[in-house]
Amino acid sequence: MYDDCPVCGLHYEVEVGLFYGAMYISYGFSVAIVFIVGVLLYNLAGDPPTSVYIATVAGIVILAAPILFRLSRILMLHFFSGINYDPSYSKV
């Protein structure tokens, strides 16, 4: 993550508890991935063995972890930080 916003120059400071909230958001995304992949495997692969479920879900969640990490932090900042983005304001 940047220390300052490259567009408007806003300095990011970590709020106490921000990462706890972002972990809950990331956990929710992971649960949704597990549910969706499980339903898809059940319907498309004809209910494979449990090891296939575990390997597939674990692989997808591990590959998606960097995206989920950043997305959950972005959503946490957007919904709970009180920062309003004005696209007409640009530092460039």
What are 15-57's pLDDT values in tens digits? 667 678 888 999 999 999 999 999 999 999 998 999 999 999 9
Q: Please, what is the average pLDDT of the chain?
A: 85
Q: Would you say the pTM of this structure is higher than 0.85?
A: no
* pLDDT higher than 90, residue 4: no
DSSP assignment letter at 66:
H
In this structure, of 5-9, 12-16, 38-42, the range with the lowest mean pLDDT score is 12-16
The HSE-up count of residue 40 (CA atoms within 13 Å, CB side) is 9
Q: Give yes or no for a contact between 58 and 33, defined as CB atoms under 8 angstroms apart.
A: no
Query: Which of 23, 5, 12 has the alpha carbon at shortest distance from 73?
Result: 23
Residue type, 18: L
CB count in 10 Å sphere of residue 42: 12
Mean pLDDT to the nearest integer, 74-79: 82
> How many residues are given for the chain?
92
